[in-house]
Amino acid sequence: MNKNKFFITKNYKAQFTAAGKAKIDCERTLERIGFKNIGLPRTTLPNSIIGAILTFFSTIIGLIRLKRKSTICIQYPIKKYYNLIVKVAIIKECKVITVIHDLRSHRNKRLSTITEIKSFNRNHVIISHNEFMSKWLIENKLKSKILNLNIFDYLSVNSDKAEKKLNKFELVFAGALGIGKNGFIYDLDAIHPKNYAINLYGVGFDKNELQKNSIINYKGFFRADEVVNELQGSFGLVWDGQSIEECSGNFGEYLKINNPHKTSLYLRAGLPIIIWDKAALAKFITDNKVGIAISSLKDLDKILKNIDREQYQEMINNSKIISKKIGSGYYLESAIKQC
């Protein structure tokens, strides 16, 4: 790869959310492997107006500083400036690599698939979440070279939290806890599980929706750089949407091709994973023996009842191996080296 390797940072208003942390982690890995920020220094100001101004000037200064025939890595999406950065980079005969964090056409429908793929096709290399996202992109006429990240890294100090208390497992669920986003949470009591309880971390939780003697324990909200040290439980749960029977609707469809950042959070904390079996990351979880894939949460109580101490310990041991990798930036570094 070209020795002149660059990226342009921005103001990360949401530095303590999954989105902000994921992109800052990527930048830190890029710096470690020889990329240089050619924009303004990275900032994390919460003020939207000041943040927008800093991002604008960082982008413009970065494009002025971008050397001809160099390599630039862009994190997508970046509001307003993605196509501008790609266009200037091509004019300067640079190699363009894009790391996808979210597909705007798929997740929030804010962009047409045709428009998004057209932008990607100006790149030399696209780093996709996984083989399922890559397949979807190719089916929608992506022509650029494509590589799989496999799973997002999660840079942090080591934190092994997995444990089984007495005869009951504790599931961990981190993220948006509102009924509109993850209504399935409030239906778990109706299953009457005997072999697990669930600890919640995040915002939007409505305790008034819970049944008496609920299996759900709300642990509060922690910043993304702190929560990995706060998680307490036996498994991390990767589920989305309204239903306990499947991950339904748009959230479920997106889960079939994307890498939820919470999966990396759980694994970094040393927690094995429970994931929907149609999720894209289910294959990674089962191939690496770091958890189980299930079709319905209605089946979970019985499945957990049949997991013995030896099986669970194997999952913990394998999770620690993956934890070290994602804690070091291994997966992005591997993808970039393939470029």
Q: Is residue 154 part of a domain?
A: no
Domain ends where: 148, 179, 210? 148
pLDDT band per the 50, 70, 90 thresholds, residue 148: very high
Averaged over 13-21, what is the pLDDT? 70
Domain ends where: 95, 119, 148? 148
Report yes or no: 207 and 179 within 8 Å, Cβ to Cβ. no
Query: In terms of domains, do 142 and 178 share one?
Result: no
Q: Which residues contact 310 (CB under 8 A, 6 or more apart)?
A: none
Which residues in 162-173 are b (16+ Cβ under 10 Å) and which e?
Answer: bebeeeebbbbb
* Percentage of residues of the chain with pLDDT beyond 90: 83
Strand partners, 75: 99
Query: In terms of domains, do 18 and 139 share one?
Result: yes
pLDDT exceeds 90 at position 265: yes
pLDDT band per the 50, 70, 90 thresholds, residue 297: very high
What per-residue confidence (pLDDT) applies to 337? 95
HSE at residue 248, side-chain half, CA atoms within 13 A, is 10
Query: In terms of domains, do 130 and 266 share one?
Result: no
Query: In terms of domains, do 143 and 225 share one?
Result: no
Query: In terms of domains, do 24 and 124 share one?
Result: yes
In what helix (H) or strand (E) does residue 71 lie, and over which residues does it extend?
Answer: strand 71-76
pLDDT exceeds 60 at position 190: yes
Which of 156-160, 227-231, 271-275 is the least confident region? Answer: 156-160
Q: Is residue 339 part of a domain?
A: no
Q: Is 213 left (phi over 0), alpha (psi -120 to 50) or beta?
A: left
Query: In terms of domains, do 178 and 143 share one?
Result: no
Averaged over 209-228, what is the pLDDT? 90
What per-residue confidence (pLDDT) applies to 166? 47
Q: What is the pLDDT of residues 69-99, one digit of tens each?
A: 999 999 999 988 999 999 999 999 999 999 9
Query: In terms of domains, do 132 and 226 share one?
Result: no
Averaged over 221-246, what is the pLDDT? 92
Query: In CATH, what number is assigned to the domain containing residue 289?
Result: 3.40.50.2000
C-alpha distances out from residue 243 to 130, 179, 252, 266, 276, Å: 25, 11, 10, 22, 12
Domain ends where: 113, 148, 183? 148
Report yes or no: 272 and 311 within 8 Å, Cβ to Cβ. no
Amino acid making up residue 18? A
| Average confidence score pLDDT of the chain | 93
> What is the three-state SS of 211-244?
CCCCCEEECCCCCCCCHHHCCCECEEEECCCCCC
Q: What is the pLDDT of residues 151-165, one digit of tens each?
A: 999 999 766 656 555
Task: Give the ranges where 140-274 is alpha helix by DSSP (H).
Answer: 179-182, 249-255, 261-268
Whole-number Å distance between alpha carbons of 271 and 234: 6
Q: Is residue 250 part of a domain?
A: yes
Query: In terms of domains, do 198 and 319 share one?
Result: yes
Averaged over 296-303, what is the pLDDT? 97
Q: Is residue 331 part of a domain?
A: no
Q: Which of 42, 5, 6 is nearest to 23 (CA)?
A: 42
Report yes or no: 255 and 279 within 8 Å, Cβ to Cβ. yes
Query: In terms of domains, do 179 and 309 share one?
Result: yes
Q: What is the pLDDT of residues 317-339, one digit of tens each?
A: 999 999 999 999 999 999 999 98
pLDDT exceeds 60 at position 16: no
Query: In terms of domains, do 224 and 92 share one?
Result: no
Q: Is residue 249 part of a domain?
A: yes
pLDDT band per the 50, 70, 90 thresholds, residue 138: very high
Whole-number Å distance between alpha carbons of 62 and 9: 9
- Could you tell me how far CA 141 lies from the centroid of its own chain? 25
pLDDT band per the 50, 70, 90 thresholds, residue 168: confident
Q: Is residue 163 part of a domain?
A: no
What per-residue confidence (pLDDT) applies to 137? 98
Q: Is residue 279 part of a domain?
A: yes
C-alpha distances out from residue 12 to 7, 141, 264, 278, 285, Å: 15, 32, 20, 32, 30
Q: Is residue 334 part of a domain?
A: no
Q: Which of 10, 19, 125 is nearest to 72 (CA)?
A: 125
Q: Provide the residue range defining the domain that includes 246.
A: 169-326
Query: In terms of domains, do 116 and 213 share one?
Result: no
Q: Report the domain count for the chain.
A: 2
* Percentage of residues of the chain with pLDDT beyond 70: 95
Query: In terms of domains, do 316 and 174 share one?
Result: yes
